[in-house]
Amino acid sequence: MFLNHHRIKINSSCLINQLMNFFTPILILLLCPTRSHSEVFYPSNVLITDDFFTHHVLVAEKMTHQLHLFENDKGLPKLVKTFSMATGKKSGDKLIEGDFKTPEGIYNFTQFLTNKQLLEQTGPQGVIYGVGAFVTDYPNPIDHRMKKGGDGIWLHSTNDETRIEKGLDSRGCVVTANNDLIDISKYLELHKTPIIIVQELVYLNEKSHQRARDSIHQTIQDWLTAWREKNIEKYMSFYDQQEFQDSRGQWPQYKAYKSSVFSMPGNPKIEADKLSIFQFKNYAVVTFRQNYQSPKINDTGKKTLYLIQNKSYEWKIVNENWTKMGLEDYERISFTPSDRFFKKNENSSENN
Protein backbone atom coordinates (compact mmCIF):
# COMPACT_ATOMS: atom_id res chain seq x y z
CA MET A 1 0.00 0.00 0.00
CA PHE A 2 1.38 3.40 -0.97
CA LEU A 3 0.86 6.81 0.56
CA ASN A 4 1.07 10.25 -1.01
CA HIS A 5 3.54 12.21 1.15
CA HIS A 6 3.66 15.99 1.18
CA ARG A 7 6.38 18.34 2.47
CA ILE A 8 4.73 20.82 4.87
CA LYS A 9 5.65 24.46 4.34
CA ILE A 10 5.51 26.14 7.72
CA ASN A 11 5.21 29.62 6.26
CA SER A 12 2.46 28.69 3.81
CA SER A 13 -0.99 30.21 4.20
CA CYS A 14 -2.35 26.76 3.31
CA LEU A 15 -0.82 25.08 6.39
CA ILE A 16 -4.09 23.55 7.59
CA ASN A 17 -4.92 22.15 4.16
CA GLN A 18 -1.44 20.68 3.79
CA LEU A 19 -1.64 19.06 7.22
CA MET A 20 -4.92 17.45 6.19
CA ASN A 21 -3.31 16.25 2.98
CA PHE A 22 -0.46 14.73 4.98
CA PHE A 23 -2.43 12.98 7.70
CA THR A 24 -5.59 11.89 5.88
CA PRO A 25 -3.89 9.02 3.99
CA ILE A 26 -2.41 7.80 7.29
CA LEU A 27 -5.87 7.74 8.88
CA ILE A 28 -7.26 5.94 5.85
CA LEU A 29 -4.47 3.38 6.12
CA LEU A 30 -5.64 2.62 9.66
CA LEU A 31 -9.26 2.27 8.55
CA CYS A 32 -8.86 0.48 5.22
CA PRO A 33 -8.91 -3.31 4.74
CA THR A 34 -5.90 -5.05 6.23
CA ARG A 35 -5.45 -8.61 7.39
CA SER A 36 -3.45 -7.51 10.46
CA HIS A 37 -6.40 -5.88 12.27
CA SER A 38 -9.25 -7.70 13.98
CA GLU A 39 -11.83 -5.31 12.51
CA VAL A 40 -11.68 -4.01 8.97
CA PHE A 41 -13.43 -1.08 7.31
CA TYR A 42 -14.48 -0.47 3.71
CA PRO A 43 -15.66 2.67 1.86
CA SER A 44 -19.47 2.73 1.96
CA ASN A 45 -19.74 3.77 -1.69
CA VAL A 46 -17.76 0.80 -3.06
CA LEU A 47 -19.64 -2.40 -2.26
CA ILE A 48 -18.45 -4.95 -4.85
CA THR A 49 -15.60 -4.63 -7.36
CA ASP A 50 -14.53 -6.85 -10.23
CA ASP A 51 -11.31 -7.54 -12.15
CA PHE A 52 -12.92 -6.92 -15.53
CA PHE A 53 -15.21 -3.87 -15.36
CA THR A 54 -14.09 -2.24 -12.11
CA HIS A 55 -10.51 -3.34 -11.43
CA HIS A 56 -9.86 0.17 -10.07
CA VAL A 57 -12.16 2.83 -8.65
CA LEU A 58 -11.55 6.50 -7.88
CA VAL A 59 -13.28 8.14 -4.92
CA ALA A 60 -13.02 11.93 -4.75
CA GLU A 61 -13.66 13.31 -1.25
CA LYS A 62 -14.47 16.99 -1.52
CA MET A 63 -14.26 17.72 2.20
CA THR A 64 -10.57 16.79 2.44
CA HIS A 65 -9.64 17.48 -1.21
CA GLN A 66 -8.36 13.93 -1.50
CA LEU A 67 -8.64 11.61 -4.51
CA HIS A 68 -8.39 7.97 -3.46
CA LEU A 69 -7.50 5.14 -5.83
CA PHE A 70 -8.82 1.70 -4.86
CA GLU A 71 -8.14 -1.62 -6.53
CA ASN A 72 -10.19 -4.80 -6.61
CA ASP A 73 -9.07 -7.26 -3.94
CA LYS A 74 -11.18 -10.41 -4.31
CA GLY A 75 -14.32 -8.37 -4.82
CA LEU A 76 -13.59 -5.75 -2.17
CA PRO A 77 -11.86 -2.35 -2.42
CA LYS A 78 -8.26 -1.94 -1.29
CA LEU A 79 -6.57 1.45 -1.10
CA VAL A 80 -3.64 1.88 -3.49
CA LYS A 81 -2.76 5.58 -3.47
CA THR A 82 -4.12 8.97 -2.43
CA PHE A 83 -3.67 12.23 -4.35
CA SER A 84 -4.41 15.87 -3.63
CA MET A 85 -7.08 17.56 -5.75
CA ALA A 86 -9.08 20.73 -6.19
CA THR A 87 -12.81 20.90 -6.89
CA GLY A 88 -15.40 23.58 -7.63
CA LYS A 89 -14.92 27.11 -6.32
CA LYS A 90 -18.24 26.79 -4.49
CA SER A 91 -19.06 23.96 -2.09
CA GLY A 92 -22.10 21.72 -2.39
CA ASP A 93 -23.57 19.45 -5.04
CA LYS A 94 -23.87 20.76 -8.60
CA LEU A 95 -27.42 21.77 -9.52
CA ILE A 96 -27.30 24.17 -12.46
CA GLU A 97 -24.96 25.13 -15.25
CA GLY A 98 -22.32 27.66 -14.24
CA ASP A 99 -22.73 27.27 -10.46
CA PHE A 100 -18.99 26.41 -10.06
CA LYS A 101 -19.88 23.31 -8.02
CA THR A 102 -18.56 19.78 -8.46
CA PRO A 103 -21.34 17.19 -8.86
CA GLU A 104 -21.66 14.33 -6.40
CA GLY A 105 -22.50 10.83 -7.58
CA ILE A 106 -21.23 7.84 -9.55
CA TYR A 107 -19.72 8.51 -12.97
CA ASN A 108 -17.69 6.87 -15.72
CA PHE A 109 -14.99 8.21 -18.00
CA THR A 110 -16.10 8.32 -21.62
CA GLN A 111 -13.21 10.03 -23.39
CA PHE A 112 -9.59 11.10 -22.93
CA LEU A 113 -8.35 14.40 -24.38
CA THR A 114 -4.62 14.93 -24.81
CA ASN A 115 -2.99 18.31 -24.32
CA LYS A 116 -2.77 18.63 -28.10
CA GLN A 117 -6.48 17.90 -28.54
CA LEU A 118 -7.41 20.37 -25.79
CA LEU A 119 -5.44 23.14 -27.48
CA GLU A 120 -7.03 22.32 -30.83
CA GLN A 121 -10.56 22.37 -29.35
CA THR A 122 -10.31 25.31 -26.97
CA GLY A 123 -7.45 27.42 -28.31
CA PRO A 124 -4.67 28.96 -26.19
CA GLN A 125 -6.82 28.83 -23.04
CA GLY A 126 -6.55 25.02 -23.25
CA VAL A 127 -3.25 25.25 -21.36
CA ILE A 128 -5.25 25.48 -18.12
CA TYR A 129 -6.03 21.75 -18.43
CA GLY A 130 -2.40 20.71 -18.15
CA VAL A 131 -1.30 17.44 -19.71
CA GLY A 132 -4.78 16.07 -20.40
CA ALA A 133 -8.37 15.52 -19.33
CA PHE A 134 -10.72 12.59 -18.77
CA VAL A 135 -14.34 13.38 -19.65
CA THR A 136 -17.07 12.03 -17.35
CA ASP A 137 -20.66 11.08 -18.21
CA TYR A 138 -22.19 13.74 -15.95
CA PRO A 139 -25.14 14.17 -15.92
CA ASN A 140 -25.94 10.49 -15.45
CA PRO A 141 -29.50 9.03 -15.52
CA ILE A 142 -30.02 9.87 -11.83
CA ASP A 143 -28.88 13.47 -12.38
CA HIS A 144 -31.38 13.78 -15.23
CA ARG A 145 -34.19 12.66 -12.92
CA MET A 146 -33.09 15.23 -10.36
CA LYS A 147 -33.06 17.86 -13.16
CA LYS A 148 -29.43 18.78 -12.55
CA GLY A 149 -27.94 21.09 -15.14
CA GLY A 150 -24.58 21.65 -16.75
CA ASP A 151 -22.05 19.30 -18.31
CA GLY A 152 -18.35 19.18 -19.13
CA ILE A 153 -17.23 17.72 -15.81
CA TRP A 154 -13.70 16.38 -16.24
CA LEU A 155 -10.81 14.96 -14.28
CA HIS A 156 -7.87 17.00 -15.53
CA SER A 157 -4.54 18.48 -14.52
CA THR A 158 -3.46 22.11 -14.58
CA ASN A 159 -0.73 24.47 -15.72
CA ASP A 160 -0.87 26.19 -12.31
CA GLU A 161 -0.51 23.62 -9.54
CA THR A 162 -0.90 26.21 -6.78
CA ARG A 163 -4.64 25.85 -7.52
CA ILE A 164 -4.59 22.42 -5.89
CA GLU A 165 -3.40 23.87 -2.58
CA LYS A 166 -6.44 26.15 -2.56
CA GLY A 167 -8.81 23.17 -2.61
CA LEU A 168 -11.80 25.06 -4.02
CA ASP A 169 -10.53 26.39 -7.32
CA SER A 170 -12.25 24.90 -10.38
CA ARG A 171 -15.41 25.53 -12.36
CA GLY A 172 -16.71 22.14 -11.27
CA CYS A 173 -14.05 19.72 -12.46
CA VAL A 174 -11.74 17.54 -10.36
CA VAL A 175 -8.19 18.88 -10.77
CA THR A 176 -4.89 17.17 -9.95
CA ALA A 177 -1.20 17.85 -10.51
CA ASN A 178 0.20 16.88 -13.92
CA ASN A 179 2.38 14.05 -12.62
CA ASP A 180 -0.49 12.76 -10.51
CA LEU A 181 -2.85 12.63 -13.49
CA ILE A 182 -0.23 10.71 -15.47
CA ASP A 183 0.11 8.28 -12.55
CA ILE A 184 -3.66 7.92 -12.12
CA SER A 185 -4.16 7.34 -15.84
CA LYS A 186 -2.18 4.10 -15.67
CA TYR A 187 -5.07 2.51 -13.77
CA LEU A 188 -7.95 3.92 -15.82
CA GLU A 189 -9.99 2.44 -18.64
CA LEU A 190 -12.71 4.34 -20.43
CA HIS A 191 -16.19 3.06 -19.52
CA LYS A 192 -14.65 0.68 -16.98
CA THR A 193 -13.17 2.82 -14.17
CA PRO A 194 -15.80 4.66 -12.13
CA ILE A 195 -15.17 7.89 -10.28
CA ILE A 196 -17.39 8.41 -7.25
CA ILE A 197 -17.53 11.99 -5.99
CA VAL A 198 -18.68 12.52 -2.39
CA GLN A 199 -18.62 15.30 0.14
CA GLU A 200 -17.36 12.98 2.88
CA LEU A 201 -16.06 9.44 2.51
CA VAL A 202 -17.68 7.21 5.12
CA TYR A 203 -16.31 3.80 6.08
CA LEU A 204 -18.34 0.80 7.22
CA ASN A 205 -17.19 -2.13 9.31
CA GLU A 206 -17.14 -5.53 7.67
CA LYS A 207 -20.63 -6.61 8.79
CA SER A 208 -22.31 -3.32 7.86
CA HIS A 209 -20.58 -3.30 4.50
CA GLN A 210 -21.71 -6.85 3.80
CA ARG A 211 -25.32 -6.05 4.71
CA ALA A 212 -25.30 -3.07 2.35
CA ARG A 213 -23.98 -5.06 -0.60
CA ASP A 214 -26.14 -8.13 0.15
CA SER A 215 -29.31 -6.03 0.04
CA ILE A 216 -28.62 -4.87 -3.52
CA HIS A 217 -27.09 -8.15 -4.63
CA GLN A 218 -30.16 -10.13 -3.55
CA THR A 219 -32.41 -7.73 -5.46
CA ILE A 220 -30.40 -8.41 -8.63
CA GLN A 221 -30.56 -12.17 -8.11
CA ASP A 222 -34.34 -12.10 -7.61
CA TRP A 223 -34.76 -9.89 -10.69
CA LEU A 224 -32.72 -12.35 -12.77
CA THR A 225 -34.82 -15.28 -11.52
CA ALA A 226 -38.06 -13.55 -12.51
CA TRP A 227 -36.54 -12.80 -15.93
CA ARG A 228 -35.44 -16.40 -16.51
CA GLU A 229 -38.88 -17.66 -15.48
CA LYS A 230 -40.61 -15.02 -17.64
CA ASN A 231 -42.81 -14.02 -14.72
CA ILE A 232 -43.86 -10.64 -16.08
CA GLU A 233 -45.61 -9.34 -12.96
CA LYS A 234 -42.76 -10.31 -10.66
CA TYR A 235 -40.19 -9.04 -13.16
CA MET A 236 -41.84 -5.64 -13.54
CA SER A 237 -42.13 -5.28 -9.75
CA PHE A 238 -38.38 -4.61 -9.70
CA TYR A 239 -38.89 -1.45 -11.79
CA ASP A 240 -40.07 1.83 -10.29
CA GLN A 241 -43.44 2.61 -11.87
CA GLN A 242 -43.00 6.39 -11.58
CA GLU A 243 -39.28 6.82 -12.18
CA PHE A 244 -38.29 4.12 -14.68
CA GLN A 245 -37.42 5.29 -18.17
CA ASP A 246 -35.26 4.03 -21.00
CA SER A 247 -35.07 4.35 -24.79
CA ARG A 248 -38.42 2.56 -25.16
CA GLY A 249 -40.23 4.94 -22.87
CA GLN A 250 -41.54 4.73 -19.33
CA TRP A 251 -42.79 1.83 -17.20
CA PRO A 252 -46.04 1.08 -19.16
CA GLN A 253 -44.23 1.02 -22.52
CA TYR A 254 -41.45 -1.13 -21.14
CA LYS A 255 -43.92 -3.60 -19.64
CA ALA A 256 -45.71 -3.89 -22.99
CA TYR A 257 -42.41 -4.56 -24.72
CA LYS A 258 -41.29 -7.19 -22.19
CA SER A 259 -44.73 -8.86 -22.25
CA SER A 260 -44.34 -9.30 -25.99
CA VAL A 261 -40.87 -10.80 -25.53
CA PHE A 262 -42.03 -13.10 -22.71
CA SER A 263 -44.88 -14.41 -24.89
CA MET A 264 -42.38 -16.08 -27.23
CA PRO A 265 -41.95 -19.86 -26.73
CA GLY A 266 -39.18 -21.20 -24.50
CA ASN A 267 -37.37 -19.72 -21.54
CA PRO A 268 -34.15 -17.76 -22.12
CA LYS A 269 -30.84 -18.76 -20.63
CA ILE A 270 -29.42 -15.72 -18.84
CA GLU A 271 -26.02 -15.69 -17.16
CA ALA A 272 -24.60 -12.77 -15.19
CA ASP A 273 -21.03 -12.49 -13.92
CA LYS A 274 -18.28 -9.92 -13.35
CA LEU A 275 -20.59 -8.02 -11.01
CA SER A 276 -19.83 -4.66 -9.40
CA ILE A 277 -22.01 -2.56 -7.10
CA PHE A 278 -21.57 1.09 -6.09
CA GLN A 279 -23.84 3.18 -3.91
CA PHE A 280 -24.28 6.92 -3.43
CA LYS A 281 -26.87 7.98 -0.88
CA ASN A 282 -30.18 6.42 -2.00
CA TYR A 283 -29.10 5.24 -5.44
CA ALA A 284 -26.88 2.44 -6.68
CA VAL A 285 -25.16 1.51 -9.94
CA VAL A 286 -24.78 -2.17 -10.79
CA THR A 287 -22.74 -3.49 -13.73
CA PHE A 288 -22.20 -7.04 -14.92
CA ARG A 289 -21.53 -9.11 -18.00
CA GLN A 290 -24.80 -10.41 -19.35
CA ASN A 291 -25.01 -13.45 -21.61
CA TYR A 292 -28.48 -13.90 -23.08
CA GLN A 293 -29.42 -16.95 -25.13
CA SER A 294 -32.81 -17.72 -26.68
CA PRO A 295 -34.00 -19.40 -29.89
CA LYS A 296 -33.68 -16.05 -31.70
CA ILE A 297 -31.00 -14.11 -29.77
CA ASN A 298 -27.51 -14.95 -28.58
CA ASP A 299 -25.72 -11.87 -27.24
CA THR A 300 -23.13 -10.96 -24.62
CA GLY A 301 -22.61 -7.44 -23.35
CA LYS A 302 -22.24 -5.09 -20.43
CA LYS A 303 -25.44 -4.37 -18.51
CA THR A 304 -25.68 -1.29 -16.30
CA LEU A 305 -28.57 -0.83 -13.89
CA TYR A 306 -29.40 2.35 -11.97
CA LEU A 307 -31.50 1.69 -8.88
CA ILE A 308 -33.16 3.95 -6.33
CA GLN A 309 -34.09 2.93 -2.79
CA ASN A 310 -37.71 3.89 -2.11
CA LYS A 311 -39.34 4.90 1.18
CA SER A 312 -39.85 1.22 2.04
CA TYR A 313 -36.09 0.63 1.61
CA GLU A 314 -36.72 -1.46 -1.50
CA TRP A 315 -34.33 -1.16 -4.43
CA LYS A 316 -36.09 -0.35 -7.70
CA ILE A 317 -34.60 -0.09 -11.20
CA VAL A 318 -35.04 3.33 -12.82
CA ASN A 319 -32.76 2.93 -15.82
CA GLU A 320 -30.87 0.15 -17.61
CA ASN A 321 -28.34 0.15 -20.42
CA TRP A 322 -26.78 -2.66 -22.41
CA THR A 323 -23.66 -2.42 -24.58
CA LYS A 324 -22.50 -5.25 -26.81
CA MET A 325 -18.99 -6.40 -25.98
CA GLY A 326 -16.33 -6.32 -28.67
CA LEU A 327 -13.79 -8.94 -29.58
CA GLU A 328 -11.08 -7.19 -27.56
CA ASP A 329 -13.15 -7.70 -24.41
CA TYR A 330 -13.10 -11.46 -24.88
CA GLU A 331 -9.39 -11.66 -25.68
CA ARG A 332 -8.09 -9.74 -22.67
CA ILE A 333 -7.12 -11.94 -19.74
CA SER A 334 -6.52 -9.25 -17.13
CA PHE A 335 -5.93 -5.53 -16.82
CA THR A 336 -2.34 -4.29 -16.62
CA PRO A 337 -1.54 -0.68 -15.64
CA SER A 338 0.31 1.15 -18.42
CA ASP A 339 1.10 4.57 -19.87
CA ARG A 340 -1.24 4.07 -22.86
CA PHE A 341 -2.92 7.49 -22.43
CA PHE A 342 0.37 9.38 -22.44
CA LYS A 343 2.36 7.63 -25.13
CA LYS A 344 4.68 9.78 -27.24
CA ASN A 345 2.37 9.23 -30.19
CA GLU A 346 -0.63 11.26 -29.02
CA ASN A 347 -2.55 10.26 -32.12
CA SER A 348 -2.59 6.61 -31.04
CA SER A 349 -6.04 5.04 -31.32
CA GLU A 350 -5.86 4.19 -27.64
CA ASN A 351 -6.02 7.88 -26.83
CA ASN A 352 -9.28 8.42 -28.73
Q: Which of 253, 251, 233 minimizes the C-alpha distance to 241?
A: 251
Is residue 102 over pLDDT 60? yes
In this structure, are strands 87-88 and 168-170 parallel, antiparallel, or unpaired? Answer: parallel
pLDDT of residue 34: 46
Give the CATH number, domain containing residue 160: 2.40.440.10
Q: What is the largest CA-CA distance in the chain?
A: 76
Statement: residue 36 has pLDDT above 50? no
Instruction: Indicate if 194 and 219 belong to the same structural domain.
Output: no
Q: What is the dihedral of CA 34, 39, 44, 47, to 10 degrees?
A: 70
Number of structural domains in the chain: 2
2 pLDDT higher than 70: no
- Same domain flag for 312 and 193: no
> Within a domain: residue 137?
yes
User: Beta strands 132-136 and 105-114: pairing type?
Assistant: antiparallel
How much is the pLDDT for 195? Answer: 98
Query: In this structure, are 155 and 294 located in the same domain?
Result: no
**Claim to verify: residue 24 and residue 107 sit in the same structural domain:** yes
Q: Identify the pLDDT of residue 9.
A: 40
**Choice between 260 and 29, residue whose per-residue pLDDT is larger:** 260
143 within domain boundaries = yes
174-233: per-residue pLDDT in tens?
999 999 999 999 999 999 999 999 999 999 999 999 999 999 999 999 999 999 999 999
- pLDDT of the residue at 317: 98
| Residues in CB range of 88: below 8 A, 6 or more apart | 94, 99, 100, 101, 102, 168, 170, 171, 172, 173
Domain assignment present for residue 114? The answer is yes
Report yes or no on 350 lying in a domain.
Answer: no
A 10 A CB-CB count for 16 gives: 10
Tens digits of residue pLDDT in 238-266 = 999 999 998 889 999 999 999 999 999 99
337 within some domain:
no
Q: What is the mean pLDDT of the chain?
A: 89
Output the pLDDT for position 295: 86
Is 218 among the domain residues?
Answer: yes
Q: What is the pLDDT of residues 106-150, one digit of tens each?
A: 999 999 999 999 999 999 999 999 999 999 999 999 999 999 999
Give the residue numbers spanning the domain of 37: 15-201
Instruction: Please check whether residue 338 is in contact with residue 186, taking contact to mean a CB–CB distance below 8 angstroms.
Output: yes
- Give the mean pLDDT of 286-315: 94
pLDDT reading at 326 higher than 90: no
Residues 119 and 262 in one domain: no
Contact partners, residue 152, CB within 8 Å, separation at least 6: 135, 172, 173
